[in-house]
Structures are given as C-alpha cells and as structure tokens.
Amino acid sequence: MKLVAVVACTSGIAHTYIAKEKLIKAAEKRGHTIKVETQGTIGIEGNLTKEDIEEADLVIMATDIQTTGNERFDDKKKLKVSTSIAVKASEQLIKKIEDEIQQ
C-alpha cells in the first residue's frame, strides 16, 4: 500500500518530527511505502508531489493545527488523527488503515 501523510503539531517542532518517524517506521514494518510532509515553524519540508498524492491509497492527516494545501487531497481517501495518536499508536493506526482499505 502507498501512503502519504501531512504532520503538524501545535508548536511545529518535537511532535511533528517524532510523529513523522513513527509513521515511517510503522508503515515500513508492515510492508508499505509512505512519504511524509511536515508543516511547522520552519515551514514545509518533504513536500508531497502531485504524483505522490495521485499514487497514494490513503492520506493520513496527523495534524493538531490548520495546515496549508489541503485541497490537494480533495479526491483522496483521508484519515484525520492527532499527532499524539501518530506518536503513541502508529502501528495500530497503520493496522486500522489496512482494515479500512480492505473493506
């Protein structure tokens, strides 16, 4: 499965990058590919391309704040969670996504 994610916490520093790493590890552990864009105090990093988004089976929005560019995902299946879920339960989150995609 191909996933993309946007991650942004309220301060735009610690939880953003911890959530990014946890999502990557959990997805790869279960055999999926994932590309993660972060939005925070230092701007946008890891910009998702149009191709990344088109190829994705699902978009994870692990955000605690309003993010920019969300219209890019209007035609995609999305799952919105807080960054704390991505940090504390990333493996369970990926499993939930697998279950939803299979339905």
Cα–Cα distance measured from residue 45 to residue 58, given in angstroms and rounded to the nearest whole number: 20
Whether 1 contacts 101, CB under 8 Å: yes
92 assigned to active site: no
Q: Which of 7, 9, 56, 61 is catalytic?
A: 9
Locate the DSSP E strands across 9-103.
Answer: 33-40, 43-45, 58-63, 78-81
Instruction: Give the active site residues.
Output: 9
